[in-house]
């Protein structure tokens, strides 16, 4: 079975540009997560969707960040406008409710904002 | 609040040596899940194991073994006869049974030299 699929794997963009990261969760999973990994802060949960509904977006750093899940098989994380401090690895992950089940991560999207 | 501590930042061993990664956790929950994830140099986060707090049996999977001791709030991970391919960052994580949030440790970087 396919795992969590993310695109792009690598993105280099200039400050001020819009960045869109995409995610396809594991088929049948009803929970989707966006995490960010940096050297300074480690792995941070940005937002959590359950059944396509955002449940917890308290980790979204600021209004420049937005996430959507229009259907059960697709989610986007958008940064507009991007800043150098947004450079990080962004992971999408999915799991099957009830909570506590294993969360499976994608390969990550490595973002560099110059 | 939940907290996971991986006191070892880096471990370097020679191939075929055993290596043990320590993980200590704090939680007020009576039931919870513990996890180990591996992040190889390619960057993806790979799930290794999930342990329910009710199950204190140790587990072995090939060269990997896990020692869960509730009395000391520890969930240690041992790689037996290490190989170069084991070189990675290993993360210990914790979640409540009814909590979608994973609390990650800071990670331990394991380097296995040929």
What is the per-residue pLDDT for A103?
Answer: 92
Give the mean pLDDT of chain A: 94
N residues, chain A: 114
Q: Using the Cα atoms of residue A50, residue A56, residue A59 and residue A63 in order, give the sign of their dihedral.
A: positive
Q: Any CB–CB contact under 8 A between A90 and chain B?
A: no
pLDDT in tens, A63-72: 999 999 999 9
Inspect the interface and report whether the beta carbons of A42 and B104 lie closer than 8 Å: yes
Looking at chain A, which residue has its C-alpha nearest residue B95?
Answer: A100
What is the per-residue pLDDT for B108?
Answer: 98
Partners of A95 on chain B (C-beta within 8 Å) are 100
Q: Any CB–CB contact under 8 A between B106 and chain A?
A: yes
- pLDDT mean over B39-61: 90
Following DSSP, what letter does each residue of B11-58 receive, concatenated? EEEETT--EEE--EEE-S-SSEEEEEEEE-TT---EEEEEEETT----
What is the per-residue pLDDT for B58?
Answer: 84
Partners of A32 on chain B (C-beta within 8 Å) are none
Partners of B99 on chain A (C-beta within 8 Å) are 99-100
By the 10 Å C-beta count (0-12 exposed, 13-18 middle, 19+ buried), A27 is classed as exposed
What is the per-residue pLDDT for B23?
Answer: 98
B11's tokens: 């471990």
Range ranked top by mean pLDDT from A11-25, A98-112, B48-62, B93-107 = A11-25
Inspect the interface and report whether the beta carbons of A103 and B104 lie closer than 8 Å: no
Quickly state the pLDDT bin for A60 (edges 50, 70, 90): very high
What is the per-residue pLDDT for B56?
Answer: 82
A8's tokens: 């792009």
What is the per-residue pLDDT for A100?
Answer: 56
Inspect the interface and report whether the beta carbons of B44 and A108 lie closer than 8 Å: yes
Partners of B36 on chain A (C-beta within 8 Å) are none
- Tell me, what DSSP letter sits at residue B101? P
Alpha-carbon span B105 to A43, nearest angstrom: 9
Quickly state the pLDDT bin for A18 (edges 50, 70, 90): very high
What is the per-residue pLDDT for B55?
Answer: 85
- Tell me, what DSSP letter sits at residue B85? G
B8's tokens: 């070892």
User: Which among B100, B102, B107, B108 is the top mutation candidate for probing chain A, defined by the most A β-carbons within 10 Å of its own β-carbon?
Assistant: B100
Quickly state the pLDDT bin for A73 (edges 50, 70, 90): very high
pLDDT in tens, B65-108: 999 999 999 999 999 999 999 999 999 999 987 778 889 999 99
């Amino acid at each position: 079975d396919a795992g969590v699929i993310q695109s792009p794997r690598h993105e280099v963009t200039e400050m001020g540009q819009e960045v869109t990261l995409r995610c396809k969760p594991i088929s049948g999973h009803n929970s989707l997560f966006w995490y960010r990994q940096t050297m300074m802060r480690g792995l941070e949960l940005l937002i959590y969707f359950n059944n396509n509904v955002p449940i917890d977006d308290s980790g979204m750093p600021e209004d420049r960040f937005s996430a959507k899940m229009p259907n059960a098989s697709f989610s986007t994380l958008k940064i507009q406008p991007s800043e150098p401090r947004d450079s990080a690895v962004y992971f999408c992950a999915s799991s099957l409710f009830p909570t506590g089940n294993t969360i499976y991560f994608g390969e990550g999207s490595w973002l560099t904002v110059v | 609040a939940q907290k996971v501590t991986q006191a070892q930042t880096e471990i370097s061993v020679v191939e075929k040596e055993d290596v043990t990664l320590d993980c200590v956790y704090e939680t007020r929950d009576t039931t919870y899940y513990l996890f180990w994830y591996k992040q190889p140099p390619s960057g993806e986060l790979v799930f290794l194991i999930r342990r329910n707090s009710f199950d204190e049996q140790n587990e072995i999977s090939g060269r990997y073994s896990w020692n869960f001791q509730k009395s000391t709030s520890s969930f240690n991970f041992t790689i037996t006869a290490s190989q170069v391919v084991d070189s990675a960052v290993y993360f210990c994580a914790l979640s409540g049974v009814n909590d979608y949030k994973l609390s990650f440790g800071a990670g331990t970087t394991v380097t296995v030299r040929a």
